[in-house]
A and B are shown apart, each in its own frame.
Chain A
Amino acid sequence: MTLQREKRDYSWGMVVDVDKCTGCQACVLACQAENNVPLNLQDRFERARAMQWIRVERYWEGEFPDVKARFIPIMCQHCENAPCEPVCPVFATYHNNEGLNVQVYNRCVGTRYCANGCPYIVRFFNYWEPVWPEAFRNHLNPDVTVRSRGIMEKCSFCVQRIRRGVRNAERDGRKVVDGEIQTACTQACPTDALVFGNFNDEDSKVSKMKKDDRHYTLLPHLATDPNVVYLAQIDTDRSAGESHG
């Protein structure tokens, strides 16, 4: 059983201000570079098996000329009550006591049950051995495993950066300061639409942002209790109480 949120030192989470997301894809590539996500070669797109730990979805609303595009970044929601966890026969995915939904690569046997269980479709399966020409191996991140074929993978909230941050704080005998740990995507995001932090710290930026009236979570009716909180996009053409366009 996982600890109750309040009893932990850290409860990592992210707040996504959809109103500020411009859809620029900087987070997507920053994540890929940080986490050694395999190159999505052309055939991966054509077979609809491209991997992106974080993706920016784009939806259209309306028709020309009154058309609107809506961007929303979606990554693993690190649900407190995650549908992917109980279905894993080998306990390769579990919830740790800092609010992370962890994927243990060396336990994973590739049943893909978790991917079927995930309502957010953020888990990706390695159908092929990753292709890294020797030269490109120079820039792979040594802190992150290069996953092999047959392994399920997904956003880890850059757990290697969290570990490093927590370790440094422990060495100095203190707690992690707000903003000290940044995931690759939050570091890259030019508009600060993505913010990462500790929900158990009342003064952290994420805790404050979470109190915004615009906060909501994705698919709330599934009661997954995600650790990623979204702030709704503001549309100046909409009047309050009006139904969706």
Chain B
Amino acid sequence: MKISRREFLALGAKATAGTMIFAACGLPERELIVQSPVDMPEDLVRGEDAWYATTWPDMPGGDGLIVRVMQGRAKKIAGNPDHPVNRGKQSARHDAAIQLTYHPDRIQEPMMRQSKGGLYEPISWGRAEQVLQQAVEAGADNMAVVTNPLGGHLEWVAINFAALNGGRHIKFDPTEQGVMQDAIRFVYGQEDPPYYDIANANTVLSVGADWLSTWQSSVGYSVRYGDFRSKEERGYLIHAEPRMSMTAANADLWLPVIPGYEGHLAMSIASVILEERLASSTEIARFFNQIPTASMVGFRPEDIEERVGVSAYKIRKAARHFAEHRPSLAFAGGSAGAHTNGQFNIAATHALNTLVGAVGSDGGVKYNPVSPLDGLTGRCSGDSFTDWEVELAQWRSGNVQTVIVRGADIVHGMPDSVDVVGAMDGVPNVIGFGSVMNDTLANCDLILPEKTFLETWGTTIPDPAPGYEVVTIQQPVIGDTELFSGNGLISDARGFGDELLRIADGELGADDMEELVNASIDQLYDLSRGSVSAPTSRLFRQGVLQRGGWWDTDATVETPDDHTPPNVFDLESAVHYSSTDGLGDGADFHLVPFLSNSLYEGRLSATPFAMQNPDPMSSAAWATWAEINDQEADHLGIRQGDVLFIKSEYGEIEALAYPTPGGRPGVIGVPIGLGHENGGRYDEGLGSNVFKILAPRVEPASGSLAWAGTRVRVARSGRKREVPKFEGEVVAFPVEPGVPVLVVAPGESAHDAEVANHHEYQQNFLLPDSGEGSEEESGGGH
């Protein structure tokens, strides 16, 4: 029995809205895609609203979402409360994503240019398909399909379409995590990223990974963080990162490590645990199975505190807490891996888990099962920078006839020294799919309007899964946007997967994404287990779509609790030291780019929702700012809003100075995501692109770009501009004079803390000389 997509939607709507009369009559659902002029909401003939479950495959994590749909328009995106990864929660990025669909600058129709650098002319889809077909045939021997890391069916289609036409699929992630996967394979012998049981841990030590904000499944981790903090024994968070990221700001103990020395810090923590005998002898024995005994020499905190930039006192404090308040958990990622010694940094951190018996235990590291669906994985990492250099050399040499790009802004995301545009110019047919213009699309010969995630079918396997099998289903929640064209909207778009399947003409075993997804749902039905049980496959399908996916909490894999590390970490040959490209004398800052909390790597920069959402730490929006330590800035005469030139050997960008006490001296933090030369009306030409000036250094083991391993020189331009930020807009009214946010000691009541503060205040008031500081200090706030 075949059930149409519309019928699915209808049933979903009925179940959600509870209008069973409709179902009884078998009424079609055409009304959902109707029917009123696009106008202010109060002018709409209001329809009933329904919440549909879906997901957004472009954002890592595989969070389940529900979308409120009314009158055929998506109104609000929220977390799917049923979904095991994010449990009904969301990040600011999810809310902003709705504006990708309703963007006023959505690409409306296929556009083609006759020559490189030529003008684009709109063409019909029929013609566009012809061109696409010809390009695929022309590139039969050497074609590249480029996407962002997707996972699930869309990636399956990209891989198999490329293979079918004698090409290859290549993934691009500007902040690639290949190092981390390598290290995980090394330490745990696992292919899939493990699940970190943060909720049940008493101590979490994270290194480099901004997991509350942007790293991996950040919403899922934040949900677990909530549990972690509200346990009987409140969880204790230790975070090591050179800049004060959002995660560092929430840590009980922040270790502001010098960039590139994260591994040394981890080894030092291990050496304290060994020195003070804070681990059992079995644990120590297992640890030494992995790390040769001799390697531990020279990592005493007192010996290396200068080198790593963290005081011996703090290292010992962290080590003691980590070893004594178990279950403890350590993991690393993000900027810690983005150095030439990235593998050492990450592997050394993960080895700490062995030392405290965290592998396989509750509140520790748990292995994830492989995906229950054939051929689909959740592994969401891009191909390495080295692979990309090889690929781009091919493009440049003219060996590649056709390149199909989707969702990967390679022009924006790679250092200038790589010259991606030059490489693209060497390919005769560059075809780009996208919904809003970006730097890569602007260099394509054929631009095809792509449907957004709210309009297409797909699946996502969460990466990492929460310890058991999860498949999230993506379904279209609004009708084809072409229906809106009567109102000057929106776009005659087609799905990327659907279009590739059309071109493949049935050779991939399906005509569209819907068919693929249905086949997978049938496959899940045949497993007859998991979160949805139904007597027929049709009802099962409806159940899966209503709940937004399928999961089986029992489908876990055994994590051996007598974990013996599979590999011996050869510390002698491992690269210990981060090598950074400098400018010679005076190259005095270490550049640490970081993913923007709301724009991610620039994927959402077209949307004003994301652009205007303040950064958690600086509260800045609409601009590229540079975080610099306030005392150091004072010393250098840099004031807030000074336009700084940040210059590396490979280029120069401008950024607004934002001195902050949360910056490490010698480190300059610049957000990723802005500086699009081509884009929509909200992001074109705004801010600077920090990727441009990165040194093309790689981590040798995985070949990944060491994107946090560039040294820069910083100079004032002499110009000054106000940093657009929310901070300072409203006057701060402290809880008590001098006390912006009431803080209590563990076990202390708010009342007692208030009394203590009050005494302090009175004392200061009576003796003004001694108490000047406390009121001034809060001035940094809002």
Complex: A163 Cα to B766 Cα, angstroms: 51
CA distance A17 to B759 in the complex (A): 25
- Report if A26 contacts B (CB, 8 A): yes
| B394-431 Cβ-contact flags toward A at 8 Å (1 or 0) | 00000000000000000000000000000000000000
B95-103, B269-277, B335-343, B383-391 - interface stretch: B95-103
**Does chain A have a CB within 8 A of B164?**
no
Check B733 against A190 for contact (C-beta < 8 Å): no
Contacts of B598 in A (CB 8 A): 25, 29
A contact residues around B90 at 8 Å (CB): 26, 30, 188, 190
Report if B20 contacts A (CB, 8 A): no
User: Which residues of chain A (55-79) have a CB below 8 Å from chain B?
Assistant: 55-65, 67-72
Question: Which of A20, A28, A30 is in CB contact (< 8 Å) with B230?
Answer: A20
Tell me whether A191 and B746 are in contact in the complex, defined as CB-CB below 8 angstroms, given that A25-B598, A146-B41 are known contacts.
Answer: no
Does B547 count as interface, using CB distance less than 8 angstroms?
no
Does A87 have its Cβ within 8 Å of any Cβ on chain B? no
Knowing A45-B726, A57-B782, A135-B102, say if A24 contacts B731 (CB, 8 Å). Answer: no
Q: How far is the CA of A52 from the CA of B92 in the complex (A)?
A: 14
Most buried by B among A25, A28, A119: A25
Contact of A235 among B488, B724, B745 (CB under 8 A): B745
- Given A39-B608, A72-B741, are A244 and B92 neighbors across the interface (CB < 8 Å)? no
Task: For residue A96, give the distance in angstroms from its CB to the closest CB of chain B.
Answer: 22
Judging by beta carbons under 8 Å apart, are B614 and A28 in contact? yes
Partner of B244, one of A67, A139, A146, A184: A67
Contact of A191 among B229, B244, B610, B614 (CB under 8 A): B229
Distance from A185 Cβ to chain B, minimum over Cβ atoms (Å): 11
In the bound complex, residues from chain B placing their C-beta under 8 Å from that of A52 are 726
Partner of A243, one of B104, B622, B756: B756
Decide: A67 near B104, CB < 8 A? Known: A24-B597, A234-B234: no
Q: Is A112 an interface residue (CB 8 A)?
A: no
- Chain B residues 241-256 with CB under 8 Å of chain A are 244, 246-247, 249-250, 252, 254, 256
Q: Which chain B residues lie closer than 8 Å to A146 at the CB level?
A: 40-42
Report which of B88, B617, B774 forms a contact with A58, defined as CB distance below 8 A: B617
A140 contacts the other chain (CB 8 A): yes
- A36 interface contact, C-beta 8 A: yes
- A236 — which chain B residues lie within 8 A by C-beta? 236, 252, 745-746
Residue of B nearest to A141 (CB): B75
Q: Contacts A59-B778, A61-B777, A238-B744 given; indicate if A145 touches B729 (C-beta within 8 A).
A: no
B546 at the interface (CB under 8 A from A): no
User: Chain B residue with minimal CB distance to A21?
Assistant: B250
Q: How far is the CA of A45 from the CA of B661 in the complex (A)?
A: 22
Interface residue? A177 (CB, 8 A): no
Q: Which of B226, B664, B732 is within 8 Å of A190, CB to CB?
A: B226
Contacts of B304 in A (CB 8 A): none
Q: Which residue of chain A lies nearest to B609 when distances are taken between CB atoms in the complex?
A: A29
Of A33, A65, A119, A234, which one neighbours B256 at CB under 8 angstroms?
Answer: A65
Most B CB contacts (10 A, CB to CB) among A22, A42, A216 go to A22
**Complex-state Cα separation, A56 to B213, whole angstroms:** 15
Please tell me if A215 contacts chain B, counting CB pairs below 8 Å.
Answer: yes
Supposing A29-B96, A58-B727, A135-B102 touch, asked if A64 and B256 sit within 8 A by C-beta, the answer is yes
Q: Which of A137, A138, A140 is most buried by chain B, counting CB atoms within 10 A of its CB? A: A138
Contact with A along B481-519 (1 / 0, CB 8 A): 000100111100000000000000000000000000000
With A29-B598, A190-B86, A191-B223 in contact, is A141–B38 under 8 Å at CB?
no
Q: Mark A131-151, 1 if CB is under 8 A from B, else 0.
A: 001111111111111100000
Q: Which among B102, B489, B615, B730 is the interface contact of A121 at CB below 8 angstroms?
A: B730
A1: interface (CB < 8 Å): no
Q: Scan A153-192; emit 1 where CB is below 8 A from any B CB, else 0.
A: 0000000000000000000000000000000100111111
- Residues in A with CB closer than 8 Å to B733 are 119-121, 218-219
Question: Which residues of B have CB within 8 Å of A19?
Answer: 229, 234
- Give min CB distance, B62 to chain A, whole Å: 15
Given contacts A25-B613, A58-B619, A240-B748, A138 and B86 within 8 Å (CB-CB): no
Q: Say if the beta carbon of A83 comes within 8 Å of chain B.
A: no
Please, which residue of chain B has its CB at the minimum distance from the CB of A146? B40
In the complex, B700 has a CB within 8 A of chain A? no
Q: Provided the pairs A62-B661, A64-B256, A190-B90 are in contact, do residues A70 and B743 lie with their beta carbons within 8 angstroms?
A: yes
Contact residues on B (Cβ < 8 Å of other chain), bracket: 35 or more
Cβ contact of B724, chosen from A42, A69, A119, cutoff 8 A: A42
Cβ contacts under 8 Å, A190 to chain B: 86, 89-91, 219, 222-223, 225-226
Per-position binary interface string of chain A over residues 23-50, scored 1 when its CB falls under 8 Å from any chain B CB and 0 otherwise: 1111011101110100111101110111
CB-CB under 8 A for A59 and B740, given A135-B102, A236-B236: yes
Q: CA–CA, A22 to B41, complex, Å?
A: 33
Contact B744 A142 (CB under 8 A): no
Shortest beta-carbon distance from B598 to chain A in Å: 7
Q: Is A5 part of the binding interface, using a Cβ–Cβ cutoff of 8 Å?
A: no
| Set of chain B residues within 8 Å of A18, measured between Cβ atoms | 741-742
Report the separation of the CA atoms of residues A187 and B759 in the bound assembly, to the nearest whole angstrom: 39
Whether a CB of chain B sits under 8 angstroms from the CB of A237 is yes
Q: Does B73 have its Cβ within 8 Å of any Cβ on chain A? A: yes
In the complex, whether A233 has a CB less than 8 A from a CB of chain B is: yes
- Once the chains are docked, how many angstroms separate the CA of A243 from the CA of B738? 11
Instruction: Assess whether B661 is in contact with A67, with CB atoms less than 8 Å apart.
Output: yes
Q: Judge whether B76 and A141 touch: CB under 8 Å.
A: yes
Beta-carbon contact of B92 and A28 below 8 Å: yes
CA distance A72 to B77 in the complex (A): 24
Q: List residues of chain A with CB within 8 A of the CB of B44.
A: 142
Q: Nearest Cβ distance between residue B643 and chain A, in whole angstroms? A: 15
Check if B532 is an interface residue, CB within 8 A of chain A: no
**In the assembled complex, A6 has its CB within 8 A of some CB on chain B:** no
* B122 interface hit (Cβ, 8 Å): no
> What does the 1/0 interface line of B734-773 toward A look like (CB < 8 Å)?
0110111111111111111110110110000000000000
Q: A232 an interface residue at 8 Å Cβ cutoff?
A: yes
State A188–B321 Cα separation when bound (angstroms): 32
User: In the complex, what residue of chain B is closest to A216 when comparing beta carbons?
Assistant: B750
Q: Are A213 and B750 in contact (CB under 8 A)?
A: yes
Residues of B within 8 A of A144 (CB): 41
Instruction: List 26 interface pairs A-B (beta carbons < 8 Å), by A numbering.
Output: A17-B230, A19-B229, A22-B212, A23-B246, A23-B617, A25-B616, A29-B96, A33-B95, A34-B76, A39-B609, A40-B612, A50-B612, A57-B732, A58-B617, A60-B662, A63-B631, A64-B664, A69-B244, A135-B490, A138-B74, A139-B75, A188-B90, A234-B744, A234-B746, A239-B745, A240-B752
A residues near B (Cβ < 8 Å) are 17-20, 22-26, 28-30, 32-34, 36, 39-42, 44-46, 48-50, 52, 55-65, 67-72, 119-121, 133-146, 184, 187-193, 213-216, 218-219, 230-245
